[in-house]
Amino acid sequence: MSGSAHRVGIVLVSHSAAVAAAVAELARGLAGGGDTAPIAPAGGTPDGGLGTNAELIAEAVKRVDEGAGVALLVDLGSAVLTVKALLAEGDELPEGSRLVDAPLVEGAVAALVAASVGGDLDAVVAAASEAYDYRKV
């Protein structure tokens, strides 16, 4: 797929900037690197602390939005609540932004693979959600 095609963007929301950045890097690497769909971390607070921040999330969504939708994967607690609040406001995130019920790490990899091969938002959300089925024992 060429880099000019509009692909679903992915935002990873974690309480930790380091975790969000590391998961994005891992997903890029496991998705084959190169010309992947846009993915951005949105972790921590502006001062570098632990937590979630609506402005950082909204900025990350704008960076990855190519017009095909944005899948937001979150870690826990207030990350979920912050994304839900942004979606409820209606004008903070672009149309087609969706909170995904998926594990952060496995879901990020699956979502990025699906988005990178041109999957639409529903396909990306489904791929990420199916990551719950990856049993480890």
Give phi and psi for 133, each to the nearest 5: -80, -10
CA distance 137 to 55: 39
Catalytic annotation, pick one of 7, 9, 15, 16:
15
Active-site residue, 15 included: yes
Residue written as tokens 């790490």?
A: 105
Sign of CA dihedral 99, 81, 14, 76: negative
Helix (H, G, I), strand (E, B) or coil at 132: helix
Residues annotated as part of the active site:
15
